[in-house]
Structure 1
Amino acid sequence: MLFENASAELALLLFTLLVPVGVMALALMACTRGFLAVDGAAARAADRLATLPAVVMIAGLVCSFFHLGAPAHVFGMMAGLGHSPLSNEIIVAAIAIVIGVVYWVICLAKGLNAGGHKAFGIVLLVAAVACAVFTGTAYSMPTIPTWDTPYNWVGQLGLALLGGAVLAGASLAVAGYELDKRARCLLLGCGAVGLVAVAAVLIGQGAVAGAAAGSLGGLPAAVMVDYASAGIGCVVLCAAGYALWACSRDRAALACVAAVCVLVGLALMRVDFYGVFLSAGLAWL
């Protein structure tokens, strides 16, 4: 039941997964290249490999148009800027994507020096955090108690940090770019914070959903079993992917497998969110 409900919102699920992860990965790659980079033969290849997170980000953008039904609807969304959480989400995400695309195109065209990477790194990092937070707060609605919690944006920020760090690390590994100790600590630290946040949010969201449904006569056991299964799968895959990436020592194949594990795990996190909160949650209320 939970997976069926989540599949009905597949376009939104992919948008809220791929865009924050892609933008954060670009931000962390830019910061790594600008502040902590060591010049070498792989520096130009690392610029070109910004293509990987850029493709992830753009794929999320494409998914958002499937949710709108028609591209022209985006103009109606913009009209609510400032007083509609959903419009705010769309505008902030669009700005983040535009900045990310500009950075990617420049990297492909001619590359950037350390100063250019620093500037884009700072701007992209702010944009990535804002994108994750606004994507979460778009679901904070007082009329729906199961949505009106800080777990929404905390979960999205954790998702972006974990997925972005591992994807950035994998992209740099494919480029043959060896991280120095400081750069490795930066990416590992962001990933660890994200992993802890993801696990905590899954537990917190489950408790809120259970309490809200309990006050209305309980919720189907099948939904809770599916929620627990997806949550456990998320944490196991994310933790395994993070550990594999941490031990990969910049080996491209291992780093890519780790990134796939983390992305699949984070997709299960979004399955839990949409399966319980969007479809089934509305039925309770």
Structure 2
Amino acid sequence: MFDGGFSATSLAVFTALAPAGAVAFACLAAFLLVNRSQSRDWRDVLAHLLFIPLAIAWAGFIASATHLGTPANALHAINGLGRSPLSNEVVSAVAFLFFAGMAWMYSYREKPKASVMNGLLAISIVCVIVMLFHTSFAYSIATVPTWDTWLTPANLCATALLSGPALATTVLQAARVRAGKWPYALLLIAVAALAAGTVLLVCHMNFLGTVGNNVTLASALVPNYGWLIAAHAALAICGLAFQLHGLRLATSRTRGPVFSVIGCAVVIIAALLARFPFYDAYLSVGF
């Protein structure tokens, strides 16, 4: 585990869960915006289930608060908005939670206005994009060469595009809406993200062999990186295969969703495995 005033475990959980929940929310919000002509009943059911990705994102944010000493310190981070990467990350995350939470709560109104709901969903999608951007570049620290590379934002985005669509697929199946080809398209995005993410992880592993300080090489900090990459890829493939099988069992009210939930859980575990090496590879330019 690295020592830099951070907690590797809490931040790994944060960058695995929060982007997964946020991207899943954006996928479901986009589905609702595109399919406006469908019946109100299923739209309400799916809107109510937006709580699932929102709760996953909240779990990630709560985990990240532990590395701040106390959660209350997150409020002080706002003071550096515009000049501090951490402040930008915190504010963008709060903005997403606010508008996404408003959209979910508004769906419980007896007669919600479509224009207001669509507006909140659209703003939430924008907030997800902004949050991913600031979270990805929050680790661009010149004194930490193992993090200060284009591979850092690329890896985080690939992980988010793997787990987010997988989670969105599970929610769509749980809602039992007429989603058409959407679940299959989401799984295709997840497969592409897995392929790209695995290549990026290998690139990062090789990159660590070229970085060091006057004490050690960065690669020595993560001696099991190759095994973690292999485990990440194997688990993600199994998880996505479970989800695909769940979609093919769509006529079953129990077996299909069960396979999808299990597959989603395995994919999120795979995403978590991909995040730990990044924090374990923390290496400053000094001693």
Question: Do these two structures clear the TM 0.5 threshold for a shared fold by scoring above it?
Answer: yes
Deviates most, 168-177 or 205-214: 205-214
CA shift for structure 1 position 241? 1.5
CA shift for structure 1 position 284? 7.6
| Residue 98 of structure 2 corresponds to residue 98 of structure 1 | yes
What amino acid is aligned across from residue 236 of structure 1 in structure 2? A
CA shift for structure 1 position 40? 7.2
What amino acid is aligned across from residue 16 of structure 2 in structure 1? L
Give the 3-state SS of the residue equivalent to 1:79 in structure 2: helix
CA shift for structure 1 position 62? 1.5
**Pair 1:258–1:110, CA change in 2 (3 A):** farther
| Residue 269 of structure 2 corresponds to residue 264 of structure 1 | yes
CA shift for structure 1 position 58? 1.3
Matches within 5 A, 1:1-285: 8-36=7-35, 38-39=38-39, 42-110=42-110, 118-181=118-181, 183-213=182-212, 218=217, 223-224=222-223, 226-249=224-247, 250=250, 251-276=256-281, 278=282, 281-282=283-284
What amino acid is aligned across from residue 212 of structure 1 in structure 2? V
- Structure 1 residues without counterparts, runs of 5 or longer: none
**Pair 1:156–1:108, CA change in 2 (3 A):** farther
Q: Distance in 2 between matches of 1:218 and 1:203?
A: 17
**Pair 1:178–1:222, CA change in 2 (3 A):** same
CA contact (8 A) 1:22 1:164 kept: yes
CA contact (8 A) 1:133 1:156 kept: no
Q: Distance in 2 between matches of 1:282 and 1:106?
A: 46
Identity %: 25
CA contact (8 A) 1:33 1:117 kept: no
CA contact (8 A) 1:23 1:53 kept: yes
What amino acid is aligned across from residue 227 of structure 1 in structure 2? Y
Deviations, residues 54-108 of structure 1 (Å, cap 9, x unaligned): 1111112212222211233123211211111111111111111212211221224
Deviates most, 96-105 or 64-73: 64-73
Q: Distance in 2 between matches of 1:193 and 1:59?
A: 26
CA contact (8 A) 2:172 2:183 kept: no
CA shift for structure 1 position 121? 3.9
Give the root-mean-square deviation of aligned CA atoms. 2.9
Deviates most, 104-113 or 24-33: 104-113
- Structure 2 residues without counterparts, runs of 5 or longer: 251-255
CA contact (8 A) 2:232 2:273 kept: yes
CA contact (8 A) 2:27 2:168 kept: yes
Q: Distance in 2 between matches of 1:91 and 1:256?
A: 31
**Pair 1:15–1:175, CA change in 2 (3 A):** same
CA contact (8 A) 1:176 1:252 kept: no
CA shift for structure 1 position 112? 5.6
Q: Distance in 2 between matches of 1:246 and 1:116?
A: 34
Deviations, residues 230-282 of structure 1 (Å, cap 9, x unaligned): 11111111222123223321421111011101100000011111112x2xx24
Deviates most, 236-245 or 53-62: 236-245
Higher helix share: 1
Q: Distance in 1 between matches of 2:174 and 2:268?
A: 17
CA contact (8 A) 1:173 1:252 kept: yes
CA shift for structure 1 position 180? 0.8
**Pair 1:89–1:111, CA change in 2 (3 A):** farther
